[in-house]
Amino acid sequence: MSNKYERNNLLLLYSVFSYFAVINKLVIFASDVHLSTMTTPIFNSEKSLQAVLYVANRLERKDFHKIFKVLYFADMEHLNNYGRSITGDTYIAMEYGPVPSAIYDIFKVVRGDSYQWPQVDTLKRLFTVKNRYMIEPIKDADLSLLSNSDITALQNSIDEYGKLSWDEIVERSHAYAWNSTQLNSRISVEDILKEKGADAEYIDYVTSLINLQKECK
C-alpha cells in the first residue's frame, strides 16, 4: 500500500514539475517573440551629447537620474510628434525609471569606469562627472546641431520635470511603457508611443520608418 502511495506521490510531483516546465518554456518563448518584434531607435551620438549639454546647463540638480528622465520625456514627446526621438537612444526599464543605455555608457566613460568609448578625451572636454553621479558641463550645447523641434521638446521636458523631486519623477516615469517592460530590459518604441496615445497606424508608420533606416545603414 505504501509503495503505491509513494508511486502516486512521485507521479503527482512529476506532473507538477512538467506543468511548470512547460509554463516556463512558454514564458521564455513569449519573451523571445516580443524581443524579436520590438523596435528600438537608431542612436545619434552627436545629438545625444548636445541634448545632454542643453539639459545639464539648465537644471539645478544635474545628477544622472534627473538628466536621464528629462531626456526620456523629451524623446517621448519628439517621437510622438515627429516620428523620431532626439537622441535615438534605447531606454532600459531600470528600478528607478527608464535609463538611456548609450548615454549612460558615455557618462561611465567620463567618470572613469569604462574605456569602451573611443573619443574619451573629446567627451571630457564637454563635461565632467563630480561625486560619482553629478554632471558638470564645461560647454553649452551647440544649438546648430539640434533642430528647433529638438530644442522645444527638451525645453518642454525641463519645464515640466526639471523641478520634480526624485520620488515625483520616478512615479511619473513608471507609466505604461515602463510597466509594460521586464525590469532591466529594453523599452520598445511601440510601448513609448502607446503611452502617448498613438494609434496602431501611426505606430506602424514610425516603426517601419526606423526599420527602413536601419536597413539602409
Task: Give the confidence band of 117 by pLDDT, cuts at 50, 70, 90.
Answer: low
Mean per-residue pLDDT over the chain, rounded: 87
The verdict on 127 and 197 lying in the same domain is yes
- Predicted confidence (pLDDT) per residue in 64-111, tens digit: 999 999 999 999 999 999 999 999 999 999 999 999 999 999 999 999
- Report the candidate in 157, 176, 171 with the shortest Cα–Cα distance to residue 97: 171
The verdict on 57 and 127 lying in the same domain is yes
* Parent domain of 176: 45-216
pLDDT at 167 over 70: yes
- How much of the chain is helix, strand and coil, in % rounded to 5? 65, 10, 30
pLDDT value for 119: 81
% of the chain exceeding 90 in pLDDT: 76
pLDDT at 24 over 90: no
- Predicted confidence (pLDDT) per residue in 181-214, tens digit: 999 999 999 999 999 999 999 999 999 999 999 8
The verdict on 1 and 100 lying in the same domain is no
The verdict on 86 and 155 lying in the same domain is yes
The verdict on 149 and 210 lying in the same domain is yes
Residue of 215 and 88 predicted with greater confidence? 88
Task: Give the confidence band of 114 by pLDDT, cuts at 50, 70, 90.
Answer: confident
The verdict on 177 and 71 lying in the same domain is yes
> How many separate domains does the chain show?
2
pLDDT at 123 over 60: yes
Q: Which of 16-25, 150-159, 181-190 has the lowest mean pLDDT?
A: 16-25
Question: b/e for 38-73, b at 16 or more Cβ within 10 A?
Answer: bbbbebbbebbbbbbbbbbebbeebbbbbbbbbbbb
pLDDT value for 216: 87
pLDDT value for 120: 87
